[in-house]
Structure 1
């Protein structure tokens, strides 16, 4: 079986090498990595080199003319493959220059050997090859030693093992030039058997390496995605903090302005009471400001303190009613800190403040289909009337509200987040309704 190049053993190896060539060509065209291009060219050279013994006479004539040229081109592709695989430009900067020299030399010899055959014939090519083959083998053995010594990873080990297997077995076949083929035939094998065996073993080992490379690329991609997700989360938290820092000064300014108004009106007791309540509110806010989120239960507590302060500022006061769905676990709902305060503030100063008679703000919190709805409704003049009164007032109105909307969208990544403002005024009654909806996500 090992004497007949048409046997299944040799046919399977030739076919396997050609299939591997096609496979890596396809991979190259998919990702344009030179690693696969060089390896596919090397496999193509091996396949053509091993096809001589089963080819037609016309191909054999061509083969005899270009035999050594094909081998040199295949070895050049192998050198280029090794440089890409081992990243010698990075890990073996000095020795990589020798790889480049040998690569260029092999391309040069590929052309020279065509001229040698044209001028002196095939036999002279064989004699010339016996000079260069040992030199090339010696260079590769030294290179393997340097690779193992300098690049200490599994890729370099597998690469050297696979290469040594082929080099050693190919040199056994190369002995045919010196000792003849009779000693091989008498032992039941063709001299080229060792080249075939070395080629398939090397290809098997190199395929393992490429499999590791694909897995490493996938792992790097996953790690990059994880790192990107972490960075994006950090960015979102920074955005949340920045928007929160925008809103808090806005609220502080309004509160300090109220204290100033009490002082100017010489209402000392009210100013003192206001400062006491204000300090309590500030303490609670500062305690919650260390986190970009809080629970809805905590927010309602802070909001109650805020409303008490505002009730002191509004002439005649106003009623504040909170309705909460009994099925809701407020401690388990995550929200941005002070996210409702701007909407209550708008309801007070741009709604009920300009309304005569009884003033009412009603906050309703309910859940439906895993969506939380926070509805702020007032019996003020209505948003449409407020817009008519002053464009400047409207601009101020939406400063805190817009910042809060952005914070909610960032927290829930724009998923099922909605803020709808509606004028609910009729002929008899006036008012505005703001509905804030977001996913029901438990802490």
Structure 2
């Protein structure tokens, strides 16, 4: 007879959307009998350690009062109920099922003719004994012959956490057969709620899968944060809306259910806060809010740890109630102040979505807490999800527009670069690096890279028509070129420029980009394959009528580089050097002295390669001033 109803309940939930197939006559078949209610007397005590033997004493028996109306319980009190079944019309040929409310301590005491006093524990922290859990209530099974004096059952109630009421009809009873039909009828009557709940949780689950799909496509952490928030929303509401699931998951260890309920809602706030920070780009647009929100996130983790420890150490302590209440009040105040701050300092319309979504969610949460009805929270969540979905859609559109703009700019830059004399290998690899940033949704990095690359190409185009430029302009271009190479390799190397103080960089003229090919050679063939610290030194000294230019790197050296040249096509490398040699040859014809180029291999004291040094001279040409 003690057969679990969970299978029946699960099937009813799945078919609740088709509830209209039952006509009124079908429902009436289930109306066999309803619960019956014994008369209740109650006793309030301060000592939770009092045993039933103490309650059965004459002094305690005379202290019981008749329960006339519903009354709130005090969290620091213990309540004993004495239920009189003598006036009920229950068959004594089968067992009875008693419903006594949902309390942390919910003990029913009976007496057996042979074994004496018996206790049935069905509180929130007691392991499930029977397969009778009907979502919202805990039950006890007793035999008619186990009543005290043939008519009494004693109930002990303690609830330090939730706000509970003790009703005039707090104890309900039915025969086991009648209880089965009552449960089935209850589920049929609540089919509309069950159907809404399934649609609601199913919708969140669908949005969760969709959000993670977007994340895996775009690799944007914003969608990952929102997906984690939706996971905790499902974890929290799944058990809240279907407490039978908590019996299924935590029936043998109900203390875990308490930890689950309280900690998931706090972790829900934690991930919601992280999502909000990312959504509105708080780090850049709202730095003060961003800093406060980070501290709030740490505080929420502290709440989770404190509540978990408190529940495991003393489940019946009132401390978890104080901690959870403090966290809820704190988050309400934080949410209100955050919305005000964003309104006052609004930067773009992303803030409007957060204000709208947070306000609706906050209203639903507070209403659900005050009216003790989770459906208001469900309404708030639905509206909030719709608002955030719109915001995420607009944000995705903006990102796609940014990519389109960057792509068009890349095409323009590519056309300019093809007209210049820069090494095409460098040009196309730089463009590929920008495209790599875009694929990884690192649009800010791509934009910064593209900005520097565009500026370099513009300067090259500008200087390509000039016979000479100032040394200062040359060094600016070289610095920009090296910065781009550093960004492209994502492995920054040092670049040290030293110029004699006696040299006036604005008056000294040199051929444009005469040094760049040697820097490129040092980076690609000296540093690219080197492990550890990497650096290049550019030294410019004045010697009589010449400028001595030295490029020194601590790379792998020419001998090792010649063994592993795979990074750059040979024709591209020779093209850069060939163009430079031609330009130096032209300078030789224009000058009385030929520019001398020397390449020197550097070694450590142990004979290992210490890099390469390239040096050459340029005639010192001074710009004419008027």
TM-score by length of 2: 0.35
Kindly indicate which of the two structures has a greater share of residues assigned to strand: 2
Point out which structure has higher relative CO (alpha carbons under 8 A, 6+ apart): 1
Kindly indicate which of the two structures has a greater share of residues assigned to helix: 1
